[in-house]
Amino acid sequence: MIEKMSECPAGMTGLTVSGTVLSRDVNEAVRMLAPTDRLLVQVAPRFDGYMAELVGGMHRACREGQAKRCALVVPEDMADEATMQGEGAGFRVFTTRPEAETWLTA
């Protein structure tokens, strides 16, 4: 499930993901919000674990210009899996939301 965050810094669009999320789900959600300069996606504790799909969808959003910068916030125990999928091209992985917000607003 993908839900829009109720509170996010100005100029930033935020999503929370939980349960089973596929790349196409991310693409559809971002398309409904796009274009956005800064996209913040936070993984909820009840995320089902298709990290490659989630990261793939975020990479695609950055590549296709739906978001200029994308930050993914994951629990520490998921950080290795998320970064293994690759960072770059405006996409980064963080373990805390404040770090992600700082990078997005820089």
10-34, pLDDT tens digit by residue? 888 899 999 988 888 888 888 887 6
* pLDDT tens-place values along the chain, 106 residues long: 899 998 888 888 899 999 988 888 888 888 887 677 899 999 998 888 688 889 988 888 888 878 888 999 999 999 998 898 778 778 999 999 999 999 999 8
3-state secondary structure (DSSP) of residue 93? strand
Dihedral sign (CA 38, 98, 6, 20): positive
